[in-house]
Amino acid sequence: MKIVMLGAPGAGKGTQAEMIAEKYGIPHISTGDIFRANIKNGTELGKKAKSYMDAGNLVPDELTVDLVIDRVAQPDCEKGYILDGFPRTIPQAEVFTEQLAKNNEKIDFAIDVEVPDENIIGRMGGRRACLNCGATYHIQYIPPKKEGICDVCGSELVLRNDDKPETVKNRLNVYHEATQPLIDFYKAQGALREVDGTQDMKDVFAAIVKILED
């Protein structure tokens, strides 16, 4: 089962992808998490990606596509995977689709988590992220057991650099311009499914499971 999560920044892609990955035993691949881990570890890739991410702009396609193609070729992806934050531009989606087609493969489900822009800004200010393992919390909706500490790995939780209100606005603009066209791209492939992302996260999850199991 190969799944792509679509949706605006803060729509809940990462939250849902994590739960789906756990339920179906497939890896959750988040390009944002991969870039943040590289920034934290001071790698060359991290140095290149940082300025784009901090401004809320997209990292160039050439730094992104090969990374994902290599990742999905790993043995743990044999039964499928869930992509979160990739593809994010039409060129990324085209190259990735061609790469899959070489092995007679395709994306089975592209799940668009729909949340209006008005709801997004409030969610982002309350988000806390673990830069070590990628877990995500919300100070109000999904608080960690111990304030400021990741339940999963015990690392310190932080407010992401790109979660400041001005940057969130730019990310939303970038989303509408560069990423939203992917909805039609996957609709044309017959893979698009839509869920209402304004519901409680458990209800969003139930809606996604229903789509995957119907």
Binding site for ligand AP5 (CB under 6 A): 7, 9-15, 30-32, 35, 52-53, 56-59, 64, 85-86, 88, 92, 123, 126-127, 136-138, 141-142, 162, 171, 200-201, 204
In the complex with ligand AP5, which residue's Cβ is closer, 104 or 145?
145
Residues that bind Mg ion (CB under 5 A): 14
Q: Is 128 assigned a catalytic role? A: no
CB of 109 vs Mg ion, minimal distance in Å: 18
Q: Are 31 and 86 in contact (CB under 8 A)?
A: yes
Q: How would you classify residue 30: left for phi > 0, otherwise alpha for psi between -120 and 50, otherwise beta?
A: beta
The number of beta carbons lying within 10 Å of the beta carbon of residue 107 is 19
88 is catalytic: yes
Place of tokens 């057991």: 145
Q: Assess whether 160 carries a catalytic annotation.
A: yes
Output phi, psi for 82, to 5 deg: -125, 120
Shortest Cβ distance from residue 124 to ligand AP5 (Å)?
6
Strand order through the sheet with 2-6: 28-30, 81-84, 2-6, 109-114, 192-196
- To ligand AP5, the closest distance from the beta carbon of 204 in angstroms equals 5
Catalytic residue among 36, 127, 128, 193: 127
* Residue 78, token pair as written in the block: 């044999």
Q: Which of 36, 123, 128, 171 is catalytic?
A: 171
d(CA 132, CA 153): 8
Compare residues 2 and 36 and give the one whose CB is closer to Mg ion: 36
- Just list the catalytic residues: 13, 88, 127, 160, 171
